[in-house]
A = this chain, B = another copy of it.
Amino acid sequence: MNNQKKYLIKLLPGGKSIKVSTDYNLKQAILDTGINIDSSCGGVGTCGRCKVRVKEGKVNTKKSKFISSKEKENGYVLSCLSKVESDLIVEVPRQKKAGVKIEKGRFADIESKIYADISKDELASVEIKPWIKKGTIVVEKPSLSYGTSDLFRLKKSIRENLGIKNCIVPIHIIRKLPLVLREKDWEVTVTVDKENSTLIDVQPGRTDKKSYGLALDIGTTSLVIYLADLENGKIINSESEYNPQIKFGEDIINRIVYANRKGGLGKLKEVIIDSINNLIWRLLFNSQVDADSIVSMMVSGNSTMMHLFYGVPPRYIREEPYVTVANKFSSSTAKEVGIKHIKNAYVYNIQGVASYLGGDITSGILATDMYKKKELTLFLDLGTNGELVVGNSEWMMGASCSAGPAFEGGGVKCGIRAVDGAIEKMSIDQKTYKCQAEVIGGGKPRGICGSGLIDVVGEMYLKGVIDRKGKFNKDIGNKYLKCVDDDCQYILVNGKNSATGEDIYISEVDIDNLIRAKAAIYAGIKTLLEEVDSSIHDLDKIYIAGGLGRHLNIRNTVIIGMLPDVDVGKYFFLGNTSVTGAYLSLLSEDKYRQSSKIAEHITYIELSVNMKFMDRYVAGLFLPYTDMKDFPTVEECLYSLDSKLKK
């Protein structure tokens, strides 16, 4: 059979078109046109988000529980389960998340943000001494009685002035060496990569040219990059962007599945590198910094993101016994990993601990003081995954619990990420059960984000809308509860008041998803503490890092039984500690060395096969927890509310 591209697919609205061969996957065809069709399962038919309507033409499609019989009649199919069999006209629903940008201004005042994330004292204590060392030196002149080579005399001067022995000088530097040395009478400015004892650049004379570095956090959901002055540590500018790999799978597991496909790894690497190149271009453009003055880039990210960044197959991260290919990758030139614009810069990465405790967590610990102090601290990074480290200057123990995508708005029917239009806070009127929402960016709501969801469930539980199992109390006269048989939806925002024109609601399935997520987090904390014969009451501090933390109402996380019921004063929000740690490591070789020490210092506990964890998890499938004694203030609160109602 001839496999040439024979069928024309036209997409509505907009009219983009593409030619594909017989049996080509319809979702892939849509992605190929550049349209970001929604999907969180990576294209295996389990999330139901890539629904499209085939208006003309024929596809070979599989049955799906996400397509009702009425929808089927009208031509709706899951594009990921459909193969092209003729010319098509396909209507692609407006994508909820397509084109959404991280709100402007979030990183506008970078300096103050940094100071908020780590204490001023901590930042002030960082000695600015990057891995990339720049120095002006005078090289001894040759003479008839001292006729050693230019290279020998240069190395001697580097050793004597900068203390770097046996500096490696690559051929491309040797090529320009004789002219550079003689241009300003043997005075040169050298740039040395101290980790690899390698000369990166040599310029004639004392150059006023500054040197800059980049700190990059590759998150599963978003990318954040800082441009920093390597002399004074000042952050010149920053940029952020969604991780473009989202369209191939929202969470880590789905990306790994996609990477296993033919060409999948290459595609995932390509889109992330393209995005980073784009971020760097924007940084350079906006700050008018010369690309050649960028000498280094420090990258932090979870283990899967680092594998994909370096183009390394992540497959064994999700197959027992769950090992990475590498927790630390060799440093390399930017060119080697495909980074444009700053080709001669060196790329370093923060060492990770294990498959599900990556360099982003090491970086996070580095951004705190917990590895230096005796206080018992819990570090918690809440994003797509929940990672936790407990310990102090003497020991540290870490684990990861798969919280599922609920906190990022995934797995929840009306869930969206924490962007403009997302409900981030929610209160419920005790008498009418009417909801009052706070929306990010003001305006009408489009959906509910992770922190909003926690608020809703907490409020629903406190106000008696749901019971301890997360099931709706149908006998309280809640007129916002709409049930069809056993399928109930609690209307949070009426369609008339939403941005989409449709109701924003929460169902028992959504609540169940959140309960599973919070149960995993709390079980992780309990298990980790029990491993070291401690309890939640021994904790001196709890650091919350990650995207979720920014909008979180701690009290509600305690009410639903996700975080320990301890003095709220022990909680601290740190924001994106992964990029902060990368930034510190970029500025200071001591910090960079420290990050590897931290990674080696953390004992990793694999929770997925830990029986105690399973017990705690099952115990956590109630609100707030099976044993109410763990949550005394919640019990007290419920008792007092109950009393009020009875009055």
The residues of A with any CB-CB pair to B shorter than 8 Å are: 142-144, 146-152, 168-171, 174-175, 177-179, 182, 310-313, 315-316, 320-330, 332, 336-337, 354-355, 604, 606, 609
Contact = CB atoms under 8 A, between A and B. Distances in A.
B174 A325 contact: yes
Contacts of A316: 150, 178, 182
Given A151-B326, A170-B330, A178-B315, 8 more contacts: A142-B323, A147-B321, A150-B325, A151-B324, A171-B310, A171-B332, A177-B325, A179-B313
Nearest to A170: B330
A175 B330 CA distance: 12
A143 B321 contact: yes
A152 B142 CA distance: 46
A354 B332 CA distance: 33
- Please indicate which of the listed interface residues A149, A182, A609 has the most CB atoms of chain B within 10 Å of its own CB: A149
B326 A147 contact: no
In the complex, the 3 A-B pairs of residues with the closest C-beta atoms, listed nearest first? A151-B326, A142-B323, A149-B324
A327 B151 CA distance: 8
- Please indicate which of the listed interface residues A313, A323, A337 has the most CB atoms of chain B within 10 Å of its own CB: A323
Contact of A325 (B143, B178, B336): B178
A149 B149 CA distance: 43
Contact of A147 (B144, B312, B354): B354
A297 to B, nearest CB: 14
A316 B177 CA distance: 11
Given A327-B152, A329-B174, A147 B322 contact: yes
Contacts of A315: 178
Given A171-B330, A332-B171, A606-B144, A323 B179 contact: no
A355 B322 CA distance: 57
Contact of A144 (B170, B311, B321): B321
B151 A320 contact: no
Contact of A609 (B144, B313, B320, B336): B144
Nearest to A169: B330
A174 B606 contact: no
A174 B142 contact: no
Given A147-B321, A147-B322, A324-B150, A313 B178 contact: yes
A490 to B, nearest CB: 41
Contact of A174 (B174, B178, B312, B354): B312
A148 B313 contact: no
A326 B144 contact: no
A171 B325 contact: no
Contacts of A147: 321-323, 354-355, 604, 606
Contacts of A336: 170-171
A148 B337 CA distance: 24
Contacts of A177: 312, 325-326
A177 to B, nearest CB: 5
A321 B606 CA distance: 66
8 contacts: A144-B609, A146-B321, A147-B604, A151-B327, A169-B326, A170-B330, A171-B329, A179-B313
A439 to B, nearest CB: 43
A425 to B, nearest CB: 40
Contacts of A354: 147
A182 B320 CA distance: 13
Nearest to A354: B147
Nearest to A316: B178
Contacts of A142: 321, 323
A187 to B, nearest CB: 17
A106 B324 CA distance: 55
A305 B281 CA distance: 41
Nearest to A609: B144
Contacts of A325: 149-151, 174, 177-178
Contacts of A311: 171, 175
Contacts of A144: 320-322, 606, 609
A6 B326 CA distance: 61
Nearest to A155: B326
Contact of A150 (B168, B174, B323): B323
Contacts of A150: 316, 323-326
A569 to B, nearest CB: 37
A312 B175 CA distance: 4
Nearest to A265: B175
A174 B609 contact: no
Contacts of A151: 324-328
Contacts of A324: 149-151
A310 B149 contact: no
A599 to B, nearest CB: 11
A311 B170 CA distance: 12
A404 to B, nearest CB: 22
Contacts of A330: 168-171, 174
A328 B170 CA distance: 11
A8 B23 CA distance: 58
- Please indicate which of the listed interface residues A152, A326, A328 has the most CB atoms of chain B within 10 Å of its own CB: A326
A174 B323 contact: no
Contacts of A322: 144, 147
Contacts of A313: 175, 178-179
Contacts of A178: 312-313, 315-316, 325
- Please indicate which of the listed interface residues A142, A171, A329 has the most CB atoms of chain B within 10 Å of its own CB: A171
A536 to B, nearest CB: 27
A313 B173 CA distance: 12
A152 B599 CA distance: 13
A148 B322 CA distance: 9
A144 B152 CA distance: 51
